[in-house]
Amino acid sequence: MAIERLLKDEATEEKGERARMASFIGAMAIADLVKTTLGPKGMDKILQSTGRGRSVTVTNDGATILKSLHIDNPAAKVLVEISKVQDDEVGDGTTSVVVLAGELLREAEKLIATKIHPMTIISGYRMAAESARNALLQKVMDNKEDAEKFKSDLMKIAMTTLSSKILSQDKEHFAKLAVDAVMRLKGSTNLESIQIIKKPGGSLTDSFLDEGFILDKKIGIGQPKRIENAKILVANTAMDTDKVKIYGARVRVDSMSRVAQIEGAEKDKMKEKVQKIIAHGINCFVNRQLIYNFPEELFADAGILAIEHADFDGIERLALVTGGEIASTFDNPESVKLGHCKLIEEIMIGEDKLIHFSGVEMGQACTIVLRGASFHVLDEAERSLHDALCVLSQTVIDSRVLLGGGWPEMLMAKEVDELARKTPGKKSHAIEAFSRALQAIPTIIADNAGLDSAELISQLRAEHHKEGSTAGIDVITGAVGDMGKLGICESFKVKQAVLLSATEAAEMILRVDEIITCAPRKREDRM
């Protein structure tokens, strides 16, 4: 044995069968973890952090759950990544994509046990995914031309997305909020201009959509409470130097009157700055930093509404919405772009006073105010609403729609099965396995609702062998129902992303035959 060890002492490597087992088991464990959150009757998970404050999150959003986990298994990390990407790309389907990838690997494991080479399985999966996608493409509906129908499609998609979330009780109310907000965007996917404000108190049904922009700040003392035809200067500049800051500076003076002179000079400097700002011909000044009493007083005398400490998120969005730019120097007023809006006033939501900008330059802007019993409920409601908004904004661009409730999966499974019968060789086993993995999704939806999944899925399969069937699982009645009548719709883009990402992730994990873990870096003694 000339070569005793190739790797460092602490490094480990797993080869062949063991490596494959490790990656399969990790991936399936992750899939089983989020499996129970799938579907309208999915359960929530509580995530508790170990950091300070032990913050608690209650959620059933697959991506949120997986993002919060610290995972050691490399294959499981791949699944976490695909759910993150799914969340960024289309917003919904984060759980489905992980579950589907997990099921594909579960099937692959059985095939590998019967001595079928991973590459054969991969090429079978490839063919199956292609055929499944084509099956969906033949069945999509596109109502882009008919505005009424398209809007009702959007409502259905929003209700389907929300029905698996905390908002499922008031899903019509929230679906309407989401559709209205997305329709205002007129086709852009920039969700920046939809602002979501969370205010505890009231119940979820008290949430409402408000056109314009709401800033979570109070109006200062002695300032106009209401301004019409506002010209707004959005700034990020220091307005807190009308007194000498003692801790930073060392000033040697021979008498107290000199200190007063210095303070006077500081004050004049501030006054000059305020004059420059007023010279822009504005009647509302929003600053990201603090504004001290002296400049605030000067603004109030000039009849200008000064809002201080509007956090960065606030001013960025305000600048975007009112069409202004964030300024930090005020020497040449003509080059600064001011923001405009028709009316600024103070409104009350619950106990809090907020500033409401209405009739803003960018007509697409709106604010959704969420009310709810506690912060946990509000956070989860915001996540659910964000998912719905993402899906809708993607659907406005790619308006192809499918039915939901396990219908697309059964449709794809049927098509893939037919392909398996036509395909000679070992690949056909892999293609059949793909179809079984697709059927696992409706199975899990039924299981989560406490229904007899085996019975339901076999009924569904029989239904789907009839031409043009629209059968899916109706979780409410616990039977096979007509998805077209029930109005359960999903966006084609989401389904396609789920199918392709899950297949690619499964393929990537299947290719693994060795896992090498590096030796941990030793801390040197710095003596």
Q: Using an 8 Å Cβ cutoff, are 356 and 214 in contact?
A: yes
Alpha carbon separation from 51 to 47, 55, 61 (Å, rounded):
12, 8, 21
Judged by DSSP in three states, 218 sits in coil
Q: Using an 8 Å Cβ cutoff, are 393 and 181 in contact?
A: no
Integer Cα distance of 44 and 29 in angstroms: 17
> What is the rounded average pLDDT of the residues 217-232?
78
Integer Cα distance of 388 and 393 in angstroms: 9
Residue with more model confidence, 217 or 245: 217
Confidence of residue 2 (pLDDT cuts 50, 70, 90): very low
DSSP string, 2-65: ----SS-SS-EEEEHHHHHHHHHHHHHHHHHHHHTT-STTPPPEEEE-SSGGG-EEEE--HHHH
Confidence of residue 316 (pLDDT cuts 50, 70, 90): confident
Residues in the chain: 527
Closest CA to 277 of 309, 302, 246: 302
Instruction: Give the torsion through C-alpha atoms of 252, 256, 261, 262, to 10 deg.
Output: 40
Integer Cα distance of 96 and 31 in angstroms: 9
pLDDT digits (tens, 9 = 90+) for 34-57: 889 888 888 888 888 887 777 888
Integer Cα distance of 271 and 514 in angstroms: 70
> What is the rounded average pLDDT of the residues 414-440?
91
Q: How many CA atoms lie within 13 A of 108 on its CB side?
A: 31
Integer Cα distance of 222 and 242 in angstroms: 19
**154 has a pLDDT exceeding 70:** yes
- Kindly report the pTM of this predicted structure: 0.83
Q: How many CA atoms lie within 13 A of 20 on its CB side?
A: 17
Percent of the chain with pLDDT over 90: 11
pLDDT digits (tens, 9 = 90+) for 66-77: 888 888 888 888
Judged by DSSP in three states, 527 sits in coil
pLDDT at 89: 81
**Nearby residues of 427 by Cβ (< 8 Å), 6 or more positions away:** 120, 123, 124, 127
Closest CA to 344 of 359, 353, 356: 356
pLDDT digits (tens, 9 = 90+) for 342-401: 888 888 877 778 888 877 766 677 888 888 888 888 888 888 888 888 888 888 888 888
Instruction: Give the torsion through C-alpha atoms of 232, 237, 243, 248, to 10 deg.
Output: 170
Q: Do domains 12-142+403-517 and 145-212+366-398 have the same CATH topology?
A: no
Integer Cα distance of 62 and 94 in angstroms: 5
Where does residue 43 fall: left (phi above 0), alpha (psi -120 to 50 degrees), or beta otherwise? Answer: beta
Judged by DSSP in three states, 180 sits in helix
> What is the rounded average pLDDT of the residues 494-513?
90
CATH of domain 214-362: 3.50.7.10
Residue with more model confidence, 336 or 109: 109
Confidence of residue 431 (pLDDT cuts 50, 70, 90): very high
DSSP 363: T
DSSP H stretches of helix in 423-491: 427-448, 453-464, 483-486
Residue with more model confidence, 307 or 156: 156
Alpha carbon separation from 279 to 228, 267, 286 (Å, rounded):
19, 18, 15
Alpha carbon separation from 334 to 280, 303, 317 (Å, rounded):
8, 21, 23
Closest CA to 91 of 410, 420, 394: 394
Q: Using an 8 Å Cβ cutoff, are 491 and 90 in contact?
A: yes
Alpha carbon separation from 46 to 15, 26, 57, 125, 199 (Å, rounded):
36, 21, 6, 35, 22
Every domain of the chain and the residues it spans: 12-142+403-517, 145-212+366-398, 214-362
12-142+403-517 is classed CATH 1.10.560.10: yes
Residue with more model confidence, 124 or 271: 124
Integer Cα distance of 316 and 323 in angstroms: 11
> What is the rounded average pLDDT of the residues 330-334?
75
Judged by DSSP in three states, 403 sits in strand
Q: Calculate the average pLDDT of the chain.
A: 83
Percent of the chain with pLDDT over 70: 94
**125 has a pLDDT exceeding 60:** yes
**433 has a pLDDT exceeding 90:** yes
**Nearby residues of 145 by Cβ (< 8 Å), 6 or more positions away:** none
**487 has a pLDDT exceeding 80:** yes
Q: Give phi and psi for 363, each to the nearest 5.
A: -65, -15
The token pair at 166 is: 């905390």
pLDDT at 243: 59
pLDDT at 48: 86
Integer Cα distance of 239 and 64 in angstroms: 40
CATH architecture of 145-212+366-398: 2-Layer Sandwich (3.30)
**506 has a pLDDT exceeding 50:** yes
Residues with catalytic annotation? 61, 94-95, 387
Using a 10 angstrom Cβ sphere, with 0-12 exposed, 13-18 middle and 19 or more buried, the burial of residue 146 is: exposed
pLDDT at 1: 45
Residue with more model confidence, 195 or 503: 503
Integer Cα distance of 352 and 364 in angstroms: 26
Confidence of residue 451 (pLDDT cuts 50, 70, 90): confident
